[in-house]
Amino acid sequence: MTLDAQAVLWSAPSDERAGRPLLVVMHGRGSDERDLFALAPALPTEFAIASVRAPLSEGAGWSWWESGAQPGEMAASAVDDAADAVLAWLDDLELESPLVGTLGFSQGGAMSVHLMRRDPDRFAFAVNLAGFVIAGHQAGDAALAERRPPVFWGRGADDPLFLGPMARLVAQTEPWLADHASADVRVYPGLGHSVSPEELDDVVAFLRAQPT
């Protein structure tokens, strides 16, 4: 499994990326790299933003893993493979950045934290929007529990991904964040499976608080 390096959308040309903090942006299931890249003008300009395309074709868009009968049902190995594809792309990038962070929505939100768990020394923070933490143990969990990196987790109070039987995703995410991160958890009244202007403002404040 590999990422298409030619599909990556950048907020800065190649000669303006070195020495800047890097923000890796990952879209949700069935979308593409253009989706969250639309947020780039609102995000802090200190970051070089790279919006990547998930590796699996699904309908008119792309996904990070094949979902099961219910959202959040997947083999952990499938998420590992997707995360490792992002790590391999970063290795090939050979970009010198003072810090690297992640930002994702839904499946991409789950990826934002999973990348830290696969390679805890590479990522300084994560922004998980309407996503969750993958169940099970990862080799990097112990290092994260000691370092407790900043993680922003935002979701809508009316998001069907987390309601009814799917509330189990909240039950598996909350304790992991409590044990492994310095978490900024926000739940937005009236918000479904999307990102609101209020949430975007909170994300911008979170990003500006990171040492760049």
Residues identified as active-site? 106, 159, 193
CA trace torsion 88, 26, 106, 29 (10° rounding) = -80
Q: Is-contact 127 103, C-beta < 8 A? A: yes
Q: Is-contact 153 185, C-beta < 8 A? A: yes
Q: Work out the widest C-alpha separation in the chain, in whole angstroms.
A: 49
Beta bridge partners of 126: 102, 151
| E strands, the chain, in order | 9-10, 22-26, 48-52, 56-58, 61-63, 100-105, 125-129, 150-156, 182-188
Looking at this protein, which amino acid is placed at residue 131?
Answer: G
CA–CA distance, 63 with 208 (Å, rounded to integer): 29
CA angle 61, 187, 73 (to 5 degrees): 45
